[in-house]
Amino acid sequence: MPCNTKFIEGEDFGPISAAFTLVFGVCMLVQFVGMVIHRLNTLLHIAADRDIKRPSRGRTANQ
């Protein structure tokens, strides 16, 4: 896509660079979604392992 102005002459937009950018963007999106899912699964795993019925150490239920 030429971007010609009075002072700067633009360069052509190559299809190889567009394909690389598209593939790179898709890979980054897949990686980001996978990371978010992994973090949520880790959070659920930690939350499921916690015992929430017992009061914390050193405190009674009345404090």
pLDDT class of 50 with cuts at 50, 70, 90:
confident
**What's the whole-number mean pLDDT along residues 25-46?**
97
Residue 48: both structure tokens together:
């499921």
d(CA 57, CA 60): 8
What is the distance between the alpha carbons of residues 40 and 8, in angstroms, rounded to a whole number? 48
Residue written as token pair 């030429």: 2
| 4: confidence class by pLDDT, cuts 50, 70, 90 | low
What's the rounded mean pLDDT across residues 11-30? Answer: 91
Structure tokens at 59: 């405190």
What residue has token string 């102005």? Answer: 5
